[in-house]
Structure 1
Amino acid sequence: MNDIPDRVPTPCPSCSPDLETVHEVLTEGGGALTVRCSECGHVHKIQPETRREVTLDVVVSQEGESFTANVTTPEDEVVEVGDEFILETEEVLSTVRVTSLELDGHRRTEAAPADEIETVWTREVDNVAVNVTVHPKDGSRDDSRSVTVYVPGDYEFEVGDTETFGDDEFEIDAFVVRGDATGYDRDRYEMDGDSIVAKDAKRVYAYDQTSSAWSAW
């Protein structure tokens, strides 16, 4: 991934040797940047600042199991719950989402610079398991049952839609949002048209639509 910006602040040897001015980055090569001063147009080379990096321990939860890995990131990079990144190891290549951050002394936080973090807790979100509570057609809750569906993380559930998974067919009634999801303004949605992607869903509620008679067994 190229982290070189389009513009950088740096002194200009022609018009501003003591103060930084905005420079346009023209090319990168040999560890140096060729830049053009936005004040006078002078072109010169600079050495970009090297950001120190740290290696973080990452725990990945994946369908009830977990494994550990490592990632390297700039020490001043702020990591937050809800962030997603690609984790690449010899065994796996997957997208994971930060669910918790552990600092020194087993303290937990929602966000912190990378150099303060002991462990990053994550879960895999490329493919996810979604728990669905299915109520009988008649609306009673006594014989409700729970099913688990396995879908891509970006699979969308919408209130009012009918879904079919194997022998199960049900109409979405509501859903509850995971605590690590972002972009939602409340925990529960139940209006027709409300939607959520699978990786953000803590639980989906639905009414049975199968043609066979309802059975709790």
Structure 2
Amino acid sequence: MSTPQDRIAVECPSCSPAESTVHEVLKAGSGRHTVRCTECGHVHKIKTESETEVERKVVISQDGESFSTTVGAPPAETIAVGEEFIVDSEEAIMLVRITGLEVGPEQRVDETAVEDVETIWTRAVDNVTVKVTVNPKEGTGDRESTRSFDLQIPGDHEFVVGDEVEFGDEEFRIKAIQVREDAPEYRHGKFDHDGDMVYAKDVKRLYGTDLSTSAWSAW
């Protein structure tokens, strides 16, 4: 026989989806309970208070533009700058990296609990724009002939110093990689030794040497 502590008031998806009815707790679990509606006998599972989430504003920056949405997370969960998570918004489902945690007016921290955050500032990292600066091959142009362009590429693409790469009409040898400030896992801000690897989502700018002659034929 159920005691008062074994009964709770929750919505029943069968007979009362909009209003709470009395339910018997059949099985108490960590995070979820199995309950039975006393009105219609329907058995279902419910989330317990330990899984309660709070909504927090998230600002997502991508290619110079930004938009805001909200995410839910346990209030006691600790989050930090540099961490990545999935955002499921009306605009798209995307992977983002935390770039700032606003806990008050003009007050930001590197790490805090979700319940203390007002706004989570992020950058989309599943698909990114990588800026590239390419110098002409020796003997085919001067330093004033250096040109720059952007690459649209998946964030997990690997760029390796010393590799010869081709993207459409662009063909060049990577000679250096400048790393973004929000990529703390790297020991240096710039890599220029053959074999050094940086993911596209962490690249601030690529530096390369042109491998084609046609690109500089106009000079």
Give TM class, smaller chain: 0.7 to 0.9
Q: Which residue of 2 aligns with 1:142?
A: 144
Q: Within 2, Cα distance between the matches of 1:73 and 1:80?
A: 14
Q: Within 1, Cα distance between the matches of 2:28 and 2:132?
A: 53
Which has the higher mean CA deviation after the structures are superposed, 188-197 or 87-96?
Answer: 87-96
Q: Which residue of 1 aligns with 2:29?
A: 32
- The Cα offsets for residues 81-117 of structure 1, whole Å up to 9 and x where unpaired, read as 1110010023311111111111212212211211221
Superposed, which structure 2 residues align to 1:77-116 within 5 Å? 77-116=77-116
Q: Which residue of 2 aligns with 1:132?
A: 132
TM-superposed deviation, 1:120? 0.8
Q: Which residue of 1 aligns with 2:179?
A: 177
Equivalent AA in structure 2 for residue 113 of structure 1: A
Q: Decide which of 141, 152, 160 is 1:158's aligned counterpart.
A: 160
* Runs of 4+ deviating beyond 4 Å: none
Q: Decide which of 186, 189, 193 is 1:187's aligned counterpart.
A: 189
The 1:166–1:117 alpha-carbon spacing in structure 2 relative to 1, beyond 3 Å, is same
Q: Decide which of 188, 199, 202 is 2:201's aligned counterpart.
A: 199
TM-superposed deviation, 1:54? 2.0
TM-score scaled by length of structure 1:
0.74
Tell me the SS of whatever aligns to 1:184.
coil
Assess if the C-alpha contact under 8 Å between 1:51 and 1:75 holds in 2: no
Q: Which residue of 2 aligns with 1:53?
A: 53
- The Cα offsets for residues 43-64 of structure 1, whole Å up to 9 and x where unpaired, read as xxxxx87155321100011222
- The Cα offsets for residues 117-158 of structure 1, whole Å up to 9 and x where unpaired, read as 111111111111000111111285332111100111101110
Equivalent AA in structure 1 for residue 164 of structure 2: T
Structure having the higher Rg: 2
The 1:216–1:197 alpha-carbon spacing in structure 2 relative to 1, beyond 3 Å, is farther
Q: Within 1, Cα distance between the matches of 2:162 and 2:61?
A: 31
Q: Within 2, Cα distance between the matches of 1:215 and 1:100?
A: 45
TM-score scaled by length of structure 2:
0.73
Equivalent AA in structure 2 for residue 176 of structure 1: Q
Which has the higher mean CA deviation after the structures are superposed, 193-202 or 136-145?
Answer: 136-145
Structure 2: runs of 5 or more not aligned: 1-25, 31-47
Count of residue correspondences: 176
Equivalent AA in structure 2 for residue 206 of structure 1: G
Structure 1: runs of 5 or more not aligned: 1-28, 34-47
Equivalent AA in structure 2 for residue 71 of structure 1: V
Larger relative helix fraction: 2
Equivalent AA in structure 1 for residue 167 of structure 2: F
TM-superposed deviation, 1:215? 5.7
Tell me the SS of whatever aligns to 1:207.
strand
Q: Within 1, Cα distance between the matches of 2:180 and 2:164?
A: 22
The 1:160–1:115 alpha-carbon spacing in structure 2 relative to 1, beyond 3 Å, is same
